[in-house]
Amino acid sequence: MEYMLWLDQLSKDSGNIGGGKAANLGEMVKIGLPVPEAFVITTKAFNKFLEVSGIRSQIKELLEECDVENTSQLLETSKKIKDSILAQEIPYPIKSEITETYKALSYSNKIVSEEALKLISAGRDLAIVSVRSSATSEDLPSASFAGQFATFLNVKGIKELLDSVKKCWASLYESRAIFYRIKHGFKHSSIALIVQKMVNSEKSGVIFTINPATGEDVVIIESTWGLGEMLVSGAVQPDSYIVSKKGEILEKKIGRKGRMRIRDYASDRTIEISVPRNKINEQVLTEGEILKLLNYSLILENHYKRGQDIEFAIEKNRIYILQTRAITTEAKKEKIIIKAEPILKGIGVSPGVVTGKVRIIHDLEDISKVKSGDILVTRMTSPDLVPTMSKCAAIITDEGSTTCHAAIVSREMNIPCIVGTRDGTKMFKDGQLITLDSYKGLIYSGKVEIEKPKIEVPIGLKTTTKIKVNIAFPKNLEEIVKKTDGVGLLRIEHAIINSGVHPAKLIGEEKKEEYIKILLDVIRPIAKVFYPKPVWIRTLDARSDEFRNLQDGKAEVQEANPMLGWHGIRRSLDEPKLLKTEFEAIKILHEEGLTNTHVMLPFIISVEEFRKAKKIAKEVELPESVKIGIMVEVPSAAISIEDFCKEGIDFASIGSNDLTQTTLGVDRNNAKISGLFNELHPAMLKLMENVIRVCNKYKVESSICGEAPSNRPEIIKFLIKYGITSISVNIDAIEKTRKVIFDAEKESELIKKS
């Protein structure tokens, strides 16, 4: 099969071929969680479809001409692209593989008799499946793309499946998805599809392994009857259970669940019906189910080493996990005092305090009246409202819960939001001035006086160790720059992959300026906002499997283990024109006055490689104001660090992910041995200590930019003890890391004094 994969052939690092959602499903299969059987129509199939139909250039042109802030133009562009996709035929090789794999899915674990084969040929008795999107930009750690793409439930038969495939492909270009992609800095995206056996859900729900609104370290489970669509769309008030990670049910709120969506056995269609009267206010989950869901959620959180947003379904007392993705937002906390009496109460799901004018939206025809700074009040948001939501100062809905669409998207957009008010659209009038406190879920009439207690920041929180950030895209920079001392890792490969074009193709076609523009479009805005704080730019470090799905990426070398293959500085030295172009982009920035941009060479194993890179820098006349450092990701670099210091490196940053992998001989893509991956292994600590102490001896800045400080805060005390200069972490770990560094520095000082 060229275009199809089964879930067990995917892992969490298969996002480029299977999309984010399918990659996570494949990972869950590998670690033994109960996932419904499915196959994936890969991004390769969609890319082939665009190639054969010849519409790729038309789509690119339409998107380049579209102003996403112009709603009517955005809708028109979306319609043209979707109509164009739906008008095309699926190429025969892809159609044939879909049909064959669908039949295999339908009859897996069955002895197919001659009678059954006749039924297959007649197109009967095929599995009822769901067809779900799995875009390459979906379910990422930085953006969920919640509700942006199409899902089709209770699909049966080859014709209906093929129709659903085209509709799902077309949904990559829904107006809301185009808008969301542009706003999150994703210039290019492809899409895979998951064809999965339907779970005839009697119960369904969502789990958060941390409270996404407050940051509290508890598990929140919300559930309802039937399919989960009603919960995610906010159409019902679900049951809500708050559970400690030790298994204690801390709080139960039983919601009023008046409607449910189920499969109609007569037609095999999804229908919406009233919940039987005796079940409307009945608790959905048993205590045993709550604890089993807690167990699954903690397995996922521990495996991914960060908070997870999980969907589940229950049929005949069996739990199925339908998807997991990283919680993409960091909770904000602020103490405020408002002495006025609230006029309405709901559930605060995205914190903040805002005063503004009400704009009531009953349907999509009303969106044109929403102006920047308005407070949007509606029954419930839908994905189609995302472009409008971005203009608003705040959002209020009648329906919904912590896990509904409005909650997820408003948190990602950093917009204060209160859901579940029941009467917001009835109580308020257009133009009415109100104040919203979504920390507490309270709404006040008019503009009210807000008191913020003066909080004196302890001097100790001004840490000696610098705190930097790992970043890939220029978004939400103003908030980040206030909290950090610079960028410890700027990944350029994400910008390249999002462009959709292989950089070697651009260089080979004498389009070097296009490559430079791709780089500058990402680096320049980050460097400007952070100036004069340093920005360390890692030169190209994309693996061959990440490049393969780009335009002209078919020629990429096939490697058994790309993580130990042709990437990092070894590839840059083999293709020096690429490295020269990257150096030229940084040279331009220095000529513009952005002298805070510096170069970091990845996956380096020898001083000779460093010398060769410096020679190329000299050839392009890279200014002396550009500092050149290395990433320490293999034992040879850690052991030879003194030689690198003598050769003149300006800084060294420990890439803990790869250093752990190469030191312990553990493939971090291999779920069977993932338990051996340990950044705190004695060998790792010795290597890191050597790097830091030698760098200090030669007055070279030492840093770390891997996942270890974000995922394993306990490692920080060792780094502080060794005397590391800076620690660079993911955006969502900045505040937590500052506190850990402060405590570690304090403890280290006490030890010195004693």
The span from the CA of 487 to the CA of 499, in Å, is 22
Q: Are strands 433-437 and 442-445 parallel, antiparallel or unpaired?
A: antiparallel
How many C-beta atoms lie closer than 10 Å to residue 109's C-beta?
A: 5
Helices (H) then strands (E): counts for the chain: 28, 31
- Answer whether 337's CB lies under 8 Å from 439's CB: no
Give the C-alpha distances (Å, rounded to integers) separating 375 from 257, 358, 388: 28, 5, 11
Question: Please, is 449 exposed, middle or buried when counting C-beta atoms within 10 Å of its C-beta (0-12, 13-18, 19+)?
Answer: exposed
- Answer whether 403's CB lies under 8 Å from 232's CB: yes
User: What residues pair up with 253 in beta bridges, in sequence order?
Assistant: 240
Q: Are strands 417-419 and 394-397 parallel, antiparallel or unpaired?
A: parallel
Amino acid making up residue 58: Q
The span from the CA of 661 to the CA of 649, in Å, is 24
- Answer whether 348's CB lies under 8 Å from 211's CB: no
The angle that helices 734-753 and 715-722 make with each other, rounded to 10 degrees, is 50
User: What residues pair up with 4 in beta bridges, in sequence order?
Assistant: 41
Q: Report the alpha-carbon angle 734-667-132, nearest 5.
A: 75
Collapsing DSSP to helix, strand or coil, 613 comes out as: helix
DSSP letter string, 504-549? HHHHHTT-HHHHHHHHHHHHHHHHHHHTTS-EEEEPP---HHHHTT
To the query of whether residue 590 is one of the catalytic residues in this protein, the response is no
Alpha-carbon dihedral of residues 478, 480, 483, 489, nearest 10 degrees? -130
- Answer whether 542's CB lies under 8 Å from 492's CB: no
- Candidate list 66, 645, 695, 705, residue with the active-site label: 705
Q: Which two tokens stand for residue 370?
A: 């929403």
The span from the CA of 289 to the CA of 239, in Å, is 13
Total number of residues shown for the chain: 754
To the query of whether residue 705 is one of the catalytic residues in this protein, the response is yes
Residues 6+ apart with CB under 8 A from 726: 465, 466, 467, 468, 485, 486, 488, 701, 702, 703
In the numeric block, the tokens 């790792």 are attached to 684
- Answer whether 271's CB lies under 8 Å from 264's CB: yes
In the numeric block, the tokens 């370290």 are attached to 217
- Answer whether 559's CB lies under 8 Å from 485's CB: no
Q: Report the alpha-carbon angle 514-191-43, nearest 5.
A: 85
Residue (of 108, 93, 138, 140) closest to 38 by Cα position: 108
Q: Are strands 129-135 and 191-197 parallel, antiparallel or unpaired?
A: antiparallel
Question: Please, is 226 exposed, middle or buried when counting C-beta atoms within 10 Å of its C-beta (0-12, 13-18, 19+)?
Answer: buried
- Answer whether 399's CB lies under 8 Å from 420's CB: yes
- Candidate list 303, 405, 494, 502, residue with the active-site label: 405
Collapsing DSSP to helix, strand or coil, 729 comes out as: strand
Q: Which two tokens stand for residue 356?
A: 């503004």
- Answer whether 397's CB lies under 8 Å from 406's CB: yes
User: What residues pair up with 303 in beta bridges, in sequence order?
Assistant: none
Collapsing DSSP to helix, strand or coil, 231 comes out as: helix
First to last CA, the chain: 67
Q: Which residues are catalytic?
A: 405, 705
